[in-house]
Structure 1
Amino acid sequence: MTKTNQYTLWKEQLAQVRFPFWKELPTLELYIDQVVAIVNEQLKGVGVEPLTKSMVNNYVKKKVIQAPVKKKYAVNQLVDLLLIGFFKSSFSIDEIRAGIAQVTVSVYPQQAYDQFVTLLNAKLAGKAPVTSGAYPQNDELESMAVDTVLNRLKASYLLRTMRQQQAPSGVVKK
């Protein structure tokens, strides 16, 4: 398979990935193993690094996400971890938290997350994203952030594929 075909196939697979909306997420409280499994199943589809239990525990200790109640995590913490997991390859944890906080200043977390998922799923599928229109700066921020992550993932995959096909040779001085 040529590098172009391999990359095209990967992009087609990426276009099939679909993140769940808030109501599609488990409503029962979950233990850390279950949360990590759900988050990593989603992240695997887009090719970002998985979260570990240690990472989640550190996010709790640093107050990046709310602490679990009786070792159980609710849907809002699951959503935070999905967002952190998706964005952590391109943004710092502080930037991710600030972005979440900024978007949810004017929109309830469930509505903000569902708008994000609508945008992300459209971009993954290669379709024109639908924006809420109510908060254009939120829409623009989310769109640019998603583009940053997706472009980074695509560039990394393409470079890796190209290097597998033909390693770069050294420059010959004359």
Structure 2
Amino acid sequence: MATTALATFKMTPWDQLPAMPIYMDQLLQLVNQALAPLALPAVTKTMVNSYVKQHFFSRPVGRQYQRNHVVAVMVVTILKQDFSLATISQAINGIRESRLVEKRYEAFAMAFEQTLHGQTVSVKPTDRTTQAVQLAAQTVAYHLLTQQTLA
């Protein structure tokens, strides 16, 4: 994995994610393309269906996925590099209950990117959920940086 791949990685901003519902194939393409620079295992239909069964997010309506689904798949894919699915589920349930998915995603993305880019996380958490989101993002970012350094 090239140093520049991590040093320049950017999460897809919330407002650049599809506002209209998309189908499974589109979701897989979008997520796998967005996360390709991280060299993580590709997300599959089986994985997404498993996430639905484990209640990481709600069932798609008419086989169509919303922006919240895309975000959940991206974040779960990143987090499962270092965290158990049970821990991820607990975090996602807290985020869903807060009804602040966009805000939590932005906190995750910022902490993840800043850590990958060698910067200090610039936004201090205002609550425990935001703190957990930021710490989790930093944990995976440091893991990826460590793997890159040892490669």
Give the structure-2-normalised TM-score: 0.87
Instruction: Supply the distance in 2 between the matched residues of 1:53 and 1:84 (Cα, whole angstroms).
Output: 14
Gaps of 5+ in 1: 1-6, 162-174
CA distance in 2, matches of 1:40, 1:26: 15
How far the C-alpha of 1:130 sits from its partner, in A, is: 1.9
Q: Residues 64 and 134 (structure 1 numbering): CA distance in 2 closer, same or farther, change over 3 Å? A: closer
Aligned positions, number: 151
- Greater radius of gyration (CA): 1
Structure 2: which amino acid aligns with 1:12?
T
Give identity over the alignment, percent. Answer: 26
> Corresponding residue for 2:136?
145
Amino acid at match of 1:87: L
Q: Are 1:104 and 1:112, in contact at CA under 8 Å, matched by a contact in 2?
A: no
Alpha-carbon separation, structure 2, partners of 1:145 and 1:133: 13
Conservation of the 8 A alpha-carbon contact between 2:21 and 2:64: yes
Q: TM-score, normalised by structure 1?
A: 0.76
Matching of residue 12 in structure 1 with residue 22 in structure 2:
no
Aligned-pair CA distance for 1:156: 3.0
CA deviation after TM superposition for structure 1 residue 104, in Å: 5.2
For the residue of structure 1 that corresponds to 2:126, the secondary structure is coil
Please give the root-mean-square deviation of Cα atoms over the aligned residues, in Å. 2.0
The aligned counterpart of 2:66 is 74
Q: Which amino acid aligns with 1:53?
A: K
1:48 aligns with 2:40: yes
Which SS does the other structure have where 2:41 is aligned?
A: coil
**d(CA) in 1 for partners of 2:130, 2:100:** 14
- How far apart, CA to CA, are the structure 2 residues paired with 1:104 and 1:58? 18
* Alignment equivalent of 1:129, drawn from 121, 143, 146: 121
How big is the shift at 1:63?
A: 2.3
Give the whole-Å Cα distance in 1 for the aligned partners of 2:149 and 2:6.
13
Name stretches of at least 5 consecutive residues in structure 2 with no aligned partner: none
Deviates more, 1:40-49 or 1:76-85: 40-49
1:154 matches 2:149 = no
User: Could you say which residue in structure 1 is the equivalent of 2:112?
Assistant: 120
Rounded Cα–Cα distance in structure 2 between residues aligned with 1:72 and 1:66: 11
